[in-house]
Chain A
Amino acid sequence: MVTYIIRRLILAVPALIFISFIIFMIVKLSPADPTANLPLTIPPEVREQIRESLGVNEPLVGQYLRWARMMFITEPLIMLEDALCSAPRLPDRSMPDGCWQMVPPDTSRIISYQTRSPVFDLIAISLPQTLWVVGTSYIIGILIGMPLGIVSAYKQYSLVDQGATFFSMVGFSIPTFFTGTMAIIIFSVWTPTDAWWWLPSSYDTTHVVEDWDSFVFQLQQMVMPMMVLGLYNAAQISRYMRASMLDNLQQDYVRTARAKGMGEGTVVLKHVLRNSLIPVVTVIALNVPAVFGGALITEQVFRVNGIGYQLIQAIRGADVPMVQTISFIFAVLVVMFNLIADVLYGILDPRIRYD
């Protein structure tokens, strides 16, 4: 197993480098001019100098290598520096005494065209919001979807099953931007603001939880994004869960277990559920990148200041480094969770051997 993981990790490296090259090239070939958003009063020769300083006129391969060095070496080292040091950085961005300075403070980093600050600093600010929303909604999806799938498979063709199938079909088909907008119409627009079930239509990312009231507000503003994304995930997970349970319920070992006189609860929850969970767990892992993609839209609906929102802003502002970096982070997520799914499959199912 360990050799398999190592081999897969080594194989992932060229794939990621290739993907980063494709992403870099697609974004780089854009006709967008990084100086287009600057005031028109800047004379052409100064404009040319700015372009020069951004390194836009270099040959493409050189630009890619420069970006790759910053992406794969400088930025991880800076993250490591921050992780190892408990004290904040000094104003000139160098490390305080007693901390390990791995890269000189004036090393060039990936700079956003829009804000002129390092891209990774912006991502570090917005990533927690995305993780919050995506993580909690995925957990809600699992908590709703799994029991629903189990019950509807156990009582196949019953009223519960038909209801659950219809729910998952509907949840699967209605795009999140429509459910989100409808939720806003119902719970923010039509509901009087002093009612207890009123919910804010946009997400305030600067809100700090310090006492009970602010905690309640935090819950209130999280309910809608979480439920909209969570119900969508629940619909998918319950479908997989149902199919997998149905496959297993017809197996011979289930009959054997019943013949031995085991209780129905033991048979279903211990024997069948454990075996049915194997494909479902891998599907859950495989779906994580897609959920991040879905969060892109949910963040737009509820104005959550996450990385999806940053990406849209960057695309609108022709902020090439930002777009490249966030797209690449998404690609890393896809590759990583593919690997996790394969490894989980091997760990959970002893019949699968990779060696």
Chain B
Amino acid sequence: MTDRPQLAAVSGATPAGAAPEILSEAPRSQWADAWDQFRHHRGAMAGLFCFVSIILFVTVGPWLWGVDPGALDTRNRFAAPSLAHPMGTMQLGQDVMAQVMFGGRISLAVGLVAMAITLLLGTLIGVLAGFFRSLDGILMRLTDLFLALPVLPLLLVIIMLFREPLSQRFGTEAGIFILMVSVIGITSWMPVARIVRGDILAIKEREFILAARSIGTPPRRLILLHILPNVLSPIMVSGTLAVANAIITESALSYLGLGFPSDFPTWGKILIDAVQYTERAPWMVIFPGVLISLTVLSVNYMGDGMRDALDPRIRGR
């Protein structure tokens, strides 16, 4: 990676006048290189901008907008979007924008926490399987088995079964939140584990690992200091996919009536509750749906840009 500028200068890929400049440049870190590449990916930058705006919309938004999402205004039922209600009102006069802001917090939180669980589980199992040969066989069979499980039906069944006990234990909202993120995490770690294992199998044979091993580095430090930083980029790309997947799964489950309760709405829940009023108030469906789609789209574009930026074979092309 560090010899890239020289290579570029030697091969004459840059104009002759620019070559000395590149050579005199201060050494750059891998991340600065990646950011440079990422910045030139138009879709990724648009995605990043969009995603940051949505995060600001749901975190700072309620504070600026200052409307209680539960406030009823029965004289203004099903009001079309206007200045007072930029996204219209719902069946009891609740402001759609306030609802969507609060709902987005939960949807995004589910996406991010589920991603964290997915990456944690996937990386752990991938590292164990790739690094310790004795665990490889059994862990990969386990991965295959999980891949063969029918995810959506199983999610539905698990949520139906454990919703009550967990609600009683942690309260309705917290219980369902815990259930939702853990269930999504448990059913989506397999691709991450496979990618991580594959990469580790290749990295394990490289000379720097041999060197680290020969000076007596214990396995734990070997994994944390030498191997993990090298598989970080595929993990990050999987992370973006995991966020998108978790948000879609959560809203799909809410859509099927097995998500959060109506008084604790997420985007998916607002959408399904609004479907019966589509004829009178289509804005109740359109705004949460557009927000789900925009979030997933921007996250996917960011993942695309990240993959290009972190893959040294594509970089600079």
Residues of A within 8 A of B (CB): 15, 18-19, 22-23, 26-27, 29-32, 169-170, 172-175, 177-178, 181-182, 184-185, 189, 289, 293, 296-297, 300, 311-312, 315-316, 318, 323, 326-327, 330-331, 333-335, 338
A181 to B288, CA, bound (A): 12
The residues of A that contact B278 with a CB separation of less than 8 Å are 181, 184-185, 189
Pairwise interchain contact B145-A173, C-beta atoms closer than 8 A? no
Please name all residues of chain A whose beta carbon is closer than 8 Å to the beta carbon of B293 when the two chains form the complex.
170, 173-175, 178
Residue from A18, A173, A315, A327 in contact with B300 in the complex, judged by beta carbons closer than 8 Å: A173
Q: A26-B161, A185-B278, A334-B148 are in contact. Are A177 and B255 (CB under 8 A)?
A: yes
B164 CB–A CB distance under 8 Å: yes
Across the interface, which residues of B come within 8 angstroms of A181, CB to CB? 271, 275, 278, 285, 289
A-B contact pairs, 15 of them (CB 8 A): A169-B297, A169-B301, A174-B289, A174-B293, A174-B296, A175-B289, A175-B292, A178-B271, A181-B275, A181-B285, A182-B286, A189-B279, A293-B152, A296-B152, A318-B160
CA distance A173 to B296 in the complex (A): 5
Q: A172-B300, A296-B153 are in contact. Are A335 and B148 (CB under 8 A)?
A: yes
**Across-interface contacts of A184 in B (CB, < 8 A):** 278
Closest-by-CB residue of A relative to B161 is: A30
* Interchain CB contact (< 8 A) of A316 among B150, B257, B275, B300: B257
On whether the beta carbons of B161 and A311 are closer than 8 Å, the reply is no
A31: min CB distance to chain B, Å? 7
Further contacts, 4 of them, CB under 8 A, given A26-B154, A170-B297, A334-B150? A173-B296, A178-B293, A189-B282, A318-B160
B165 at the interface (CB under 8 A from A): yes
User: By the criterion CB–CB under 8 Å, are A185 and B301 in contact?
Assistant: no
* Residue of B with least CB distance to A178: B289
Stretch of B1-9, B30-38, B109-117, B244-252 that contacts chain A:
B244-252
Q: In whole Å, how far is A149's beta carbon from the nearest beta carbon of chain B? A: 16
- Taking CB as reference atom, which chain A residue is nearest B254? A177
- Closest Cβ neighbor of B244 among chain A residues: A173
Choose one: B256, B292, B301; the contact of A312 (CB below 8 Å): B256
Count residues of chain B with CB under 8 A from any CB of chain A: 42
Which chain B residues border A315 with CB–CB below 8 Å? 156-157, 160, 258
A175 touching B157, Cβ below 8 Å: no
Once the chains bind, are A323 and B150 in contact (CB under 8 Å)? Answer: no
| A-side contacts of B165, CB under 8 Å | 31
Say what secondary structure dominates the interface of chain B.
helix
| A18 to B272 alpha-carbon distance, docked (Å) | 36
Give Cα A86–Cα B252 distance, bound, in whole angstroms.
42
The smallest beta-carbon distance between A64 and chain B, in angstroms, is: 16
B83 in the interface, Cβ–Cβ < 8 Å?
A: no
Indicate with 1 or 0, residue by residue over B89-124, a CB within 8 angstroms of chain A CB atoms: 000000000000000000000000000000000000
By DSSP majority rule, is chain A's interface helix, strand, loop, or mixed?
Answer: helix
Nearest Cβ distance between residue A7 and chain B, in whole angstroms? 15
Question: Shortest distance in angstroms between B273's beta carbon and chain A's nearest beta carbon?
Answer: 12
Contacts of B18 in A (CB 8 A): none
Question: How far, in Å, is A199 (CB) from chain B's closest CB?
Answer: 14
Q: Which of B43, B150, B286 contacts A289 (CB 8 A)?
A: B150
Find chain B residues with CB under 8 A from A323 CB: 153, 157
Determine the chain B residues whose CB is within 8 A of the CB of A30 once the complex forms: 157, 160-161
With A26-B154, A311-B156, A335-B148 known to touch, is A178 a contact of B292 (CB < 8 Å)?
A: yes
Q: Kindly state whether residue B195 has any CB partner on chain A within 8 Å.
A: no
Which residues in A have their C-beta under 8 angstroms from that of B272?
177
Tell me whether B148 and A297 are in contact (CB under 8 A).
no
- Verify B285–A327 contact, CB threshold 8 A: no
Which among B147, B157, B158, B258 has the highest number of chain A CB atoms within 10 Å?
B157
CB of A31 within 8 A of CB of B164, answer: yes
User: In the complex, which residues 200-233 of chain B have their Cβ closer than 8 Å to any Cβ of chain A?
Assistant: none
Contact B256 A175 (CB under 8 A): no
Q: Which chain A residues border B297 with CB–CB below 8 Å?
A: 169-170, 173-174
Closest residue on chain B to residue A330 by CB atoms: B150
Against A, the Cβ 8 Å flags (1 = close, 0 = not) of B143-183 are 01101111111101110110011000000000000000000
Bitwise, B253-266 to A at CB < 8 A (1) or not (0) is 00111100000000
